[in-house]
Amino acid sequence: MNSIDLAKKVFDVEIEAMKKVRDELDGSFNQAMELFLKTLENGGKIVVTGVGKNLPIAEKISATLASTGSTSVVLNPVQAMHGDLGILGRHDVLLVLSYSGESDEIKTLLPAVRRLGVPIIALTGNRESELAALSEVVLLATVEREACPFNMAPTASTTATLAYGDAIAMALIDARGFNKEDYAKLHPAGAIGRALLLKARDIMRTG
């Protein structure tokens, strides 16, 4: 197959995956939003975790949340079991990314989190998973297939998960009344900071 045709096929698979996840949004999203908002109002943070390909996805989601005013950090599930569990505070919420909901590292982490009394929100493709069973809210992001020719490498599923994270962040912007001025305060450097904060008086020469 021509490389461009193959690339277009990958785009098509991932676009269809996101459409499917979008169309299946339900009341669970509102439940998750209520829990996120309660967490932030109480001075807590949104802790995001995942393993394998979902760990960098967790990092991107957490960074987007933090940059748009929703305090967030990433928890590596392996390091969590060796002391990093201290990242979790009593007012926090844990957003767990796991398509299967059955990853060993995640299943090992969950009981420890439950003992701390921290609520868990699952973002998964498997409603029947152990992750789903141990979570207060289940956000379902099931895709028909991966873009991988073997239907194995996380591709469509991680793209859908990333888009779901963006939807959460944008919904929180709206719900919390986060505005352009607030955004500017969190981006003082680079092109964004210059465009939003830099004034003529900051660079003009006088006298």
Taking only the tens place, the pLDDT of each residue in 113-168 is 999 999 999 999 999 999 999 999 999 999 999 999 999 999 999 999 999 999 99
Is pLDDT above 80 for 199? Answer: no
Are 98 and 53 in contact by the 8 Å Cβ rule? The answer is no
What is the pTM assigned to this prediction?
0.91
Residue 177 in contact with residue 185, Cβ under 8 Å?
no
What is the distance of C-alpha 11 from the center of its chain? 21
Amino acid code (one letter) for 141: A
Q: How far is CA 124 from CA 43, 112, 133, 139, 207, in A?
A: 26, 20, 11, 6, 62
What amino acid is encoded at 109 in this protein? L
Model confidence at 112, pLDDT cuts 50, 70, 90, reads: very high
